[in-house]
Amino acid sequence: METPQETDRGERGERNESGYALDDAGVDLMQEQVNAVQQRLLDRFEAESQISSQAHAPVREAAFRRWLGEASGMLLGDLRQARTELADFTLIPFAQGQRRLCVALRRADHAIDLVLADPFDRGTRQWIESRLREGGHPRTRWYVATTGDVQAFYGRLERETRALAADTGGLTGDGERGDSGTLELSLAQISADESPVVRFLNGTLYDALQAQASDIHLECGPRGLVVKYRLDGVLQSVSRPEGREFADRVISRLKVLADLDISERRVPQDGRLKLSRSGREIDVRVSIMPSSYGEDAVLRVLDRYQLAADQTLSVDHLGFDAHAAAFIRRLAQMPYGLLLVTGPTGSGKTTTLYGVLSEIHTGQDKMITIEDPVEYQLPDVLQIPVNEAKGLTFARGLRSILRHDPDRIMVGEMRDAETAQIAVQAALTGHQVYATVHANNVFDVIGRLASMGVDPYNLVAALNGVVAQRLVRVICPHCTEPVKPDLELLTASGLDETVFDLPWRFQRGRGCSHCRGTGYKGRRAIAQTMALDIELKSLIAERASPALLRAAAEKRGLITLRQAALDFVKAGVTTLEEANRVTAVQE
Ligand SMILES: [Zn+2]
């Protein structure tokens, strides 16, 4: 039977050639699904309209379109004219949109146009509505289009991406892996791939990069895989494809990409893979861990390009307040000595040091870094990646660096006694050393170094200052609104109603499509800084208790991280909840 859709510029034929083999038997499930939708709509059209099945194809097509609009009560959306770059894949991911025959288009007025091929498919509508809820209820308009139009739209999108990728040299043409062993990620590649597992994994990676996730979590649960992204430091659930077997196959596929042992499922494994998107190379660290339901994987995205291409990389990059930025600059420019930056993983310590190095790098100093891994490539700086497997540890690398006539050295992380001692020694012998240490605040750093066996006299002689930092999520500027925190929250935050008499600007983010419904967009750093003067130095050398040290530092105007976070609340930069998430009330 001739269908109206088939008159539509032959898109379907093209589709069938490229094929959508969704399972190993090679059955074209997706096309079958699409055909079934089409047939269902046509049957209904024929039953409800008076158009004879003998009518001319163009006449039937026009009648079908008209009927579609009337029966669904929706306007007809003209996808044939729609610009493909407006497609919003955070709302409707490419692969799912193709399968469910729907498109989300982001309009200039920030509203979303949703276009459906099957307006009677309640499953898809409910799925979109749940995505909209997660996306913070953006303003929407619903439209209906023919299956042919939706397929044609995705076809056009693929061709355009392919052309774009070819232009930028981002497409290898033959396979998924380029010559350099890099996994190419483009929409064209993702949708053209035969295996649903490959398509799912590639689609997830693509989507995560698009969302600027720092980590991707693939967790195996009783019902299948759960995918989460870490966005601005907070985990967010993204999708839950059903089925244990599918989950296993996704993890196996990931192991293949990361050069890991696919048959080993009982011990943790670590590997790496390289992604390429629009000609950009992105390193990903892969960690696999056995779990009760199979294996979990965490992928850490190391996107060097972002900073390397950023000409203005500086101490201000993380949004420190003026006081903290000035402090860091002053200490960074000292001719020799040790500057320590501390905080938990993901608090931006390394980024701060990159900002420092970029600012003070004049080309007249020899700068060497040792890192695990090298997160961002800095121009004209010798950067050495730690390679424990090959015996290049922090300590060994640092010792070699000292023979390489450096002026300034960055130690990615001081985590063992030997490294700490060499670093302190280097700072004492006329080098400027920048390093990160894991500790909670500026006082714990001192204790941490003492526990690594660093002599307190050497430490005070070398140490110029300590910066403790955290990253705080900033309220989304698109949906910020005033809010009055309730008493319970105030009490939990160590405050009371008297703050309402003070000029605090309590704000919150309502949640919108710009912030994926979270109410936050971007982060800024808060810092606790401590410069060491004679009195503090002698207290440390005498191994004074942290309480004593703290009292002395507070006399010098030391601000706690908690106070810094509350200053952001006061100014309407972040919420009280976020301040509580990042810093403890008692600090
Ligand atoms: Zn928002």
Pair 399, 422: CB distance under 8 Å: yes
Mapped onto helix, strand or coil, the DSSP state of residue 492 is: helix
State residue 25's pLDDT score: 29
Strand 140-144 versus strand 75-76 pairing type: parallel
CA of 508 to the centre of ligand 1 (A): 10
CA of 162 to the centre of ligand 1 (A): 32
Residue 435 to residue 412: CA distance in whole angstroms: 6
pTM for this prediction: 0.67
State residue 131's pLDDT score: 84
Which of 18-27, 380-389, 409-418 reaches the highest mean pLDDT?
A: 409-418
State residue 162's pLDDT score: 57
R_g of the chain computed on alpha carbons:
29
CA of 276 to the centre of ligand 1 (A): 29
CA of 125 to the centre of ligand 1 (A): 23
379-383, 412-416, 417-421, range with the lowest pLDDT: 379-383
Print the SS3 string covering 50-110.
CCCCCCCHHHHHHHHHHHHHHHHCCEECCCCCCCHHHECCCCCCHHHHHHHCEEEEECCCC
CA of 491 to the centre of ligand 1 (A): 27
pLDDT of 286 higher than 70: yes
State residue 312's pLDDT score: 58
pLDDT of 482 higher than 90: yes
Strand 432-437 versus strand 102-106 pairing type: unpaired
CA of 454 to the centre of ligand 1 (A): 47
Q: How many CB atoms lie within 10 A of CB 117?
A: 26
Residue 286's beta-bridge partner residues? 271, 299
Tens of pLDDT, residues 120-175:
988 899 989 988 887 777 888 999 998 888 988 888 877 766 555 444 433 333 33
State residue 211's pLDDT score: 79
pLDDT of 29 higher than 80: no
Please, what is the Cα angle at 317 between 393 and 355, to 5 degrees?
40
Q: How many CB atoms lie within 10 A of CB 224?
A: 19
Tens of pLDDT, residues 52-90:
777 778 888 888 888 888 888 888 888 888 887 788 877
CA of 511 to the centre of ligand 1 (A): 4
Residue 104 to residue 142: CA distance in whole angstroms: 9
Residue 70 tokens, joined: 């009337």
CA of 509 to the centre of ligand 1 (A): 6
- Compute the Cα dihedral for 561, 565, 566, 570 and give only its sign: positive
CA of 516 to the centre of ligand 1 (A): 7
CA of 195 to the centre of ligand 1 (A): 36
Q: How many CB atoms lie within 10 A of CB 130?
A: 10
Tens of pLDDT, residues 93-125:
777 888 889 999 888 777 889 999 999 988 899
Q: Which residues surround ligand 1, an ion (CB under 5 A)?
A: 476, 478-479, 509, 512, 514-515
Residue where the block lists tokens 């006329």: 430
Nearest to 348 by CA among 322, 325, 318, 307: 318
pLDDT of 221 higher than 80: yes
CA of 138 to the centre of ligand 1 (A): 10
CA of 571 to the centre of ligand 1 (A): 18
Nearest to 520 by CA among 477, 482, 471: 477
CA of 526 to the centre of ligand 1 (A): 22
CA of 482 to the centre of ligand 1 (A): 14
Residue 435 to residue 29: CA distance in whole angstroms: 55
CA of 521 to the centre of ligand 1 (A): 7
Torsion from C-alpha of 425, 428, 432, 437, nearest 10 degrees: 50
